[in-house]
Structure formats: structure tokens, C-alpha cells
Structure 1
């Protein structure tokens, strides 16, 4: 059932999203932002931005649509849980698993597995991605943080937005480097010639990837990437853009590549502030066996660095 609220500002000050989340504790600032975007919040009968500064006697109307029913079936799929408390879960996602249900993947996803593990997952407005605050591609392995309640979701999403968390990825890429490290600062958007792909485009969203060269082999390199932003396929697009596509990448890489089951990309390190205690938490996991196996094979070949 939908809920509605009529609020009148008295002597309060500050941003619209903070004012509303303070007055209606069930609404996080992230949820308020979504409601504003969808036109469900009006100030003096007009749409305003979340950054609008409330003023005395402002009349604010908030309409909260009912959350779409969750029709996702919990599935008894093994999970590699690295850490869990009352607010968050950190999971090591295997290569080949989709994060949340979609038209092409209605089940057998990480969300199906999480719902079997616990019913305490933060609501999502769409209904199909409870607990999910960020994602990695199906064939990318590694660490993800999951929110168990609205407060945790808001905190983790704020950390992502303000770039205060830590995300480092291992990747085997084509080619060798003349430098020890580098930075790719290039906007990413939908590929105008292929809607299934992303690309560096002039009107894309700001995207920044830092990388460090760890090892070099004959025709390949092992690098560590650190995300400053989190765009769809960011590392895959950026590395292809500078001429070093991720090995095994079926979308952005060459056909002649390392034998595997998709891109050799692994979310190795994840760090963030615990939403309640504000303690810094940091985790790391080794890449899957197939990743290590290909590295071992490459190390037996000529090393250029």
C-alpha cells in the first residue's frame, strides 16, 4: 500500500533529502533521491532537486509508492561468505554467477542464494535486487558488499558515491607496458553502434581507473586496477581503450586469447566503513583456480619484467 505525507517546514534548515529522511525515518536519503527523481516529492507543488535548501513554511508532499512485491525464489546455492554482521555481508562471488535476476537470468543468481541465506536484506525500489549496492559482471569473480537494512544501504551507497571505499581488481590483460603504473580518465556510456556494449564516448559519465603493473609475460601482463568510479564494464572498457583488453573478454577483447570461461578479472580487495560502528573493514580473496592456473602457465614463459 502506498503512503503519503504532508510536511510543513518550521525552523529547520538544510537539504531537502536530509530534512525528509529526518522527518520520516523509514526513508533513507537514497530512497528520497529516487522518489524525487520519479516526481513523488513536491515542494510547494513544484519539483525540486534533492539539494534544495528547505525554507520556513515550505509545504512538502511525499508520496511513497508500495515497494514492488518480491517474487524471487530463494535457492539453496552455496555462498562463500567472507564476513557478516547485523548490517552487511561480504561475499566472494564465483565466476559465472549473475548478481541479480533479469530478463535473461530469472534465477540461480547471487540474490536467489542470499534470500535463502537470510531474509534480512535491504529493500530495493525495483524489487529484484534486495541488498545489492554495487555489482560485478557475471564472469568477473570476487568480493561484493551486501546491505542488510536501509541504514546500511544508504551508508554503503554514500561511500561509493564519495569514493571513500576501496575496490581493487586483478586482471590479466593483453600486451606489455612501458610504464609501472597509469591512470585512465575517459567517460563511459552506451556504445552508439552496439547497445549491448559500453564505450568511451564524449557525452558519457565520468570514469577513472588507476592501474599498476605487477608482472609481465610474453604477450600478457598482470595488473592491479583500483576504481575511482564504478561504471558498467569500466575496467574492461578502459583497458580495451588503451590497447590492453582483458584476456578472455568476449565483448571487448580479441578472439585469440587465454583459454577460460570469460574475462580474467577478479575483485580481490574490498574495503569500507562499517555503517554502525564506523570501523574500517578490509578484505581480500585470491582469484579462482582457473585464473591462478593461467598465471602459472604464463610465468613459465619468457618474463619481460
Structure 2
């Protein structure tokens, strides 16, 4: 069944461009909304309009999400550990060693391939190559992931992650003795100057990054930490604990 989003322009709202209004209401990028408008998937009071059209208060906006394009990523029967599932979302326990979505060097055998086998309907949800994905975990990291099964839920989850209302907690075993029982690591993260495929700390152009930690248990050569990343940089925890 085709998924749609319908809403009415607030009588008290300030007039603006159609593409800007729809992007804000849907959570989609403005570029994607403009493509949908060009393809006739956005109607104002039942009529197609240009991206620059300015709807009036009280007019009804209808956005229909097109079906997925044929081809693309093929489903694979990869086992999933499902913690919860309903018509809107799926919660899984991702094992270490499993890549979340296809990319360079990982064309098959990813979590996305497994999700498409379990729930084919998510093929139309989200970005091409990342259906249903609203957040990710590194290949070697295990943990809970939430997957969207509808566009509405995807936008809602993405907004929650963006506003940091989702609390992320990680466990890490580090090969060192951590003296303080708790603390906060605040170091900027950027691409490594010598190896652009790696991330590093301390560069002037690095992006702000902060991770709070608490010691759970100490061993002769290791320390078990409970971590709360306050920002979401690539490989943040691994870089901060290096």
C-alpha cells in the first residue's frame, strides 16, 4: 500500500516555498522533496505545483512516497536476533562482524541484506542503499539497533537522534588501567593526517566530540567502562579510548 503524508497549512504560519514546507514537515532533504515535486508526488489542494509555489494558510498538502525502484540490493537469508517487532519498527541485536549497509568492500552480506529478506517492505523506506536505517553501529561493534518500517517512523526516529533525545549507552573493555572512577573525554575528532581512512584526535580542524565514562570493573590489565557519547562522530568511542 502506498504511504502518504497529508497536512494542512497552519492559518497562523508565515507563507513559504512549497519545497521548504514539505521538507520541514516530512523530514526529507530539500533536494529529495524537489525531485518528488517534479515527479508529481506533491499536490496542493489536489493539484501539482512548482517547488517555489507558496501555499496559503488552510491549503492541504498531499505527499505520496513512490514505490522502490526495481533491482538494487537483493535479500539474503542472514539470521537476525529480533528483540522486538511491530508494524512500524524492528529492534535487533546486531552481532560483531556484521556491516550495517553496503559500501566499498561490502557489497553483500550486510544487515540491510538480512532486513530485506525478513521485511521486504522496507525497500522503499529511507535512502537508497540504506532502507530502514536510521542509525548505525561499526562493523566490529555489537548492540541494539532500531530499524524503521515506515517513512513516518523513520522521520520520527531520525528527529529523535538528531535532537539527542535517544540515550546511547556502550560497554567497552580497554587494555589499560583507568584511575578515575568516572570522567569525561573531550577531544576533537578528524581524519588522520597521515592516513585519511582513519580518524584521530587533537587536530585544529577536528569536530567537537565528548564522551562520558564510568568504571564498572577493574582487572589486572583491563578496565570495563560504561560509556555515554554526547556527540556522534565517526568511530568516536574507539578514537577517544585509543
Whether the TM-score (by the shorter chain) exceeds 0.5 is yes
Cα shift readout 1:33-58 (whole Å, capped 9, x = no counterpart) = 454899x999769xxxxxxxx8979x
Contact 1:13 1:55 in 2 (8 A): no
Which secondary structure state, in structure 2, belongs to the residue aligned with residue 167 of structure 1?
coil
Cα shift readout 1:15-49 (whole Å, capped 9, x = no counterpart) = 87772257xxxx722x13454899x999769xxxx
2:44 is matched with: none
Contact 1:123 1:149 in 2 (8 A): yes
For 2:67 and 2:81, how far apart are their aligned partners in 1?
33
Which secondary structure state, in structure 2, belongs to the residue aligned with residue 120 of structure 1?
helix
1:13 is matched with: 14
Q: Measure how far apart 1:222 and its partner are.
A: 0.3
Given the superposition, is the C-alpha separation of residues 43 and 37 from structure 1 closer, same or farther in structure 2, using an over 3 Å criterion?
closer
Which runs of 5 or more structure 1 residues have no equivalent in the other structure?
A: 1-7, 46-53, 58-63, 241-305
2:208 is matched with: 206
1:123 is matched with: 125
Contact 1:82 1:92 in 2 (8 A): yes
Which secondary structure state, in structure 1, belongs to the residue aligned with residue 204 of structure 2?
coil
1:155 is matched with: 156
Cα shift readout 1:214-264 (whole Å, capped 9, x = no counterpart) = 011112100011122221111001111xxxxxxxxxxxxxxxxxxxxxxxx
Cα shift readout 1:51-71 (whole Å, capped 9, x = no counterpart) = xxx8979xxxxxx99976551
Contact 2:23 2:30 in 1 (8 A): no
Give the one of 16, 29, 33 matched to 1:32. 29
Q: Measure how far apart 1:150 and its partner are.
A: 1.0
For 2:147 and 2:212, how far apart are their aligned partners in 1?
24
Q: Measure how far apart 1:168 and its partner are.
A: 0.7
Q: Measure how far apart 1:10 and its partner are.
A: 9.0
For 1:67 and 1:146, how far apart are their aligned partners in 2?
17
**Count of aligned pairs:** 213
Contact 2:15 2:56 in 1 (8 A): no
1:287 is matched with: none
Given the superposition, is the C-alpha separation of residues 175 and 14 from structure 1 closer, same or farther in structure 2, using an over 3 Å criterion?
farther
- TM-score by length of structure 1 reads 0.61
Which secondary structure state, in structure 1, belongs to the residue aligned with residue 169 of structure 2?
strand
Q: Measure how far apart 1:95 and its partner are.
A: 1.0
For 2:51 and 2:211, how far apart are their aligned partners in 1?
39
Q: For the aligned residues, what is the CA RMSD?
A: 3.4
For 1:110 and 1:210, how far apart are their aligned partners in 2?
29
Contact 1:20 1:32 in 2 (8 A): no
- TM-score by length of structure 2 reads 0.75
